[in-house]
Structure 1
Amino acid sequence: MTLMSVENVSFSYGAGRRVLEDITFDVPRGSNVGLVGESGSGKSTLLRLLLGLDTPRSGRILFDGQPLEAKSGRYMRSYRRRVQAVFQDPYSSLNPAHRILRIVTEPLRSLKVPGDHRAMAEEAMAAVGLPADSLGRFPDQFSGGQRQRIAIARAIVARPELVLADEAVSALDLSTRVRVVDLFRDISERMTMVFVSHDMGVVAALCDRIVVLDRGRIVEAGETARILADPQNAYTRSLLSSIPRMPEGA
C-alpha cells in the first residue's frame, strides 16, 4: 500500500532554471526509500516539497491518498503529527540552551499531543539507545553521534508514520555513522522512511528502494538489489564506483 506518491512534480525558484523536472515515484508503506544524488541534483529541494515547506510549480504530492496541502495551516498541523524529519547537523539542530527533555518533547507540545510527555520522551530515548536520565542534561554534554540519536528521538516521539531523513549521517565519523545507520534500520521496522543522501553506500545499506536524481530529473529508480546488481544509467554507475560505501556487515 502506498503511503506517499509524487506525481509529475516540477519546481523552480522564481523564473530561473527548473530545479526539479517531472518527478514521479511512490513510497510504499513500511518501505525505506533512498533519494540519492550529488550536490545540485535537486534532492534537498524535493525534501522541502515533501515536508510542505514549498509547493510544486506543477504536479502534486499525495500522502495517504490525499493531496498535500502545504498552504493549509490546519492540514499541516495534522501532517506534522504523521510526518517528522531528521536533519543533517546534530550540532545546530538542538538548542544548546534547552535540556534534552524540552528538546525531545517539543513536537508533543507544538502538536498538542495528549498524554504523559515525559514517559513518551523516555520511550523515545530508549528506542535510540539512550538512558532516561539523559533527559535532564544539555546537548553539549553529548557526542555528535549521541546528539543525532537525540534528534532521532525527537522525530519519533510523536510516533509518526513517515520519517524524512536529510543527510542524517553525513556529518558523523565513519564508526558513528555505522551505528546510526543500524539505529535507522531498527526504527524503520516500525515506520516508513525516506532517506536523502549523496552517499550511495549508506542508502544501499538502509533502503530497499532507490531513486537516483541527476540535475533535477530521475535517471533511475527501483529496488535497491536490482540497481546495485545492474545499474542501467551511466550516472548511477558513476555513483556506485566513486562514492565510498559502508563497510561490509554495516
Structure 2
Amino acid sequence: MTLLSVENVGFSYRSGKPVLEDISFTVPRGANVGLVGESGSGKSTLLRLLLGLDSPQKGRILFDGAPLEARSSGYMRSYRKRVQAVFQDPYSSLDPSHRILRIITEPLRALKIPGDHRQMATKAITAVGLAPDSLERYPHQFSGGQRQRIAIARAIVARPDLVLADEAVSALDLSTRIRVVDLFEEISEAMTMVFVSHDMGVVAALCDQIVVLDKGRIVEAGLTNDILRAPKHPYTQSLLASIPRMPAGS
C-alpha cells in the first residue's frame, strides 16, 4: 500500500528557473526510500514540499491517499502527528537551554498528544540506545552521535507513520555514522522512512528503493539492488564511482 505519492511535481523560486520538474515517485508503507543527489539536485526543495513548508506549483503530493494541504493549519497539525523529521546538524537542532526530557517531549506538547509524556520519552530514549537518566541532562553533555540519537528519539516519540531524514548522518564521523545507520535500520522496521542524502553508500545500506535527482529531475529510480548492480544513467554511475560506500549491514 502506498503511503506517500509525488505526482508530476514542479516548483520554482522567485527567480523563475525551475528547481523541480515533473517529479513522480511513490513510497510504499513500511519501505525505506532514498532521495539521492548532489548539491543543486533539488532534493532539499523536495524535502520542504514533503514537510509542507512549501506547496508544489505543479502536480500534487498525496499522503495516505489524500492531498497534502500545506496551506491548511488544521490539516498540517494532523499531518505533523504522522510525519516527523530528523535534520543534518545534531548540534544546532537541540535547544542547549533545555533538558533532554523537554526536547524529546516537545512534539507531544505542540501536537497536544495525550498520555504520560515522561513515559513516552523514556521509551523513545531507550529505543535509541540511551539510558533513561539521559532525560535529565542537557545537550552539551552528549557527543555528536548521541545528540543525533536524541534527535531521532524526538522524531519517533509520537510514533509517526513516516520519518523524513535530511542528511541525518553526514555531520558525524565514520564510526558514529555506522552506529546511527544501524539505529535507523532498527527503527525502520516499525515505520516508513525517506532518506535525503548525497551519500549513495548510506542510502544503499538503508533503503529498499532509490530515487536519483540531478538538476531538478529524476534521472533514475528503482529497487536499490537493481540500481547498484546495473546503474543505467551516467549521473548514477558517477555517484556510485565517486562517493565512498558504506557496505550494507555494517
1:57 correspondence with 2:57: yes
Structure 2 residue matching 1:108: 3-state secondary structure: helix
Structure 2 residue matching 1:88: 3-state secondary structure: coil
2:180 is aligned to: 180
Structure 1 unmatched runs, 5+? none
2:74 is aligned to: 74
Once residues 127 and 31 of structure 2 are traced to their aligned partners in structure 1, the CA distance between those partners, rounded to angstroms, is 19
2:132 is aligned to: 132
Alpha-carbon shift at residue 247 of structure 1 (Å) = 4.4
Structure 2 residue matching 1:97: 3-state secondary structure: coil
Once residues 247 and 207 of structure 2 are traced to their aligned partners in structure 1, the CA distance between those partners, rounded to angstroms, is 16
- Taking the TM superposition and a 5 Å limit, the aligned residue runs for 1:135-214 are 135-214=135-214
Structure 1 residue matching 2:129: 3-state secondary structure: coil
Structure 1 residue matching 2:97: 3-state secondary structure: coil
- Identity within the alignment, %: 80
Structure 2 unmatched runs, 5+? none
Q: Contact (CA 8 Å) 2:205, 2:249: kept in 1 or not?
A: no
TM (normalized to structure 2)?
0.99
> Cα RMSD between the aligned structures?
0.7
2:47 is aligned to: 47
Q: Deviations over 1:75-104 (max 9, x none)?
A: 000000000000000000000000000000
1:231 is aligned to: 231
Task: State the number of aligned residues.
Answer: 250
In the superposition, relative to structure 1, how do residues 160 and 248 fare at CA in structure 2: closer, same or farther (>3 Å)? closer
Alpha-carbon shift at residue 72 of structure 1 (Å) = 0.2
Q: Contact (CA 8 Å) 2:10, 2:21: kept in 1 or not?
A: yes
Once residues 239 and 227 of structure 1 are traced to their aligned partners in structure 2, the CA distance between those partners, rounded to angstroms, is 11
Once residues 46 and 248 of structure 2 are traced to their aligned partners in structure 1, the CA distance between those partners, rounded to angstroms, is 30
Alpha-carbon shift at residue 171 of structure 1 (Å) = 0.1
Return the letter of the residue paired with 1:125: I
Once residues 114 and 131 of structure 1 are traced to their aligned partners in structure 2, the CA distance between those partners, rounded to angstroms, is 24
Structure 2 residue matching 1:48: 3-state secondary structure: helix
Return the letter of the residue paired with 2:30: G
Once residues 131 and 249 of structure 1 are traced to their aligned partners in structure 2, the CA distance between those partners, rounded to angstroms, is 25
Q: Contact (CA 8 Å) 2:205, 2:248: kept in 1 or not?
A: no
Once residues 248 and 212 of structure 2 are traced to their aligned partners in structure 1, the CA distance between those partners, rounded to angstroms, is 23
Alpha-carbon shift at residue 15 of structure 1 (Å) = 4.0
Alpha-carbon shift at residue 23 of structure 1 (Å) = 0.1
Once residues 205 and 248 of structure 1 are traced to their aligned partners in structure 2, the CA distance between those partners, rounded to angstroms, is 4
Structure 2 residue matching 1:122: 3-state secondary structure: helix
TM (normalized to structure 1)?
0.99
Alpha-carbon shift at residue 160 of structure 1 (Å) = 0.1
Structure 2 residue matching 1:21: 3-state secondary structure: strand
Alpha-carbon shift at residue 223 of structure 1 (Å) = 0.2
In the superposition, relative to structure 1, how do residues 75 and 249 fare at CA in structure 2: closer, same or farther (>3 Å)? closer
Once residues 185 and 249 of structure 1 are traced to their aligned partners in structure 2, the CA distance between those partners, rounded to angstroms, is 9
Alpha-carbon shift at residue 248 of structure 1 (Å) = 6.3
Alpha-carbon shift at residue 153 of structure 1 (Å) = 0.1
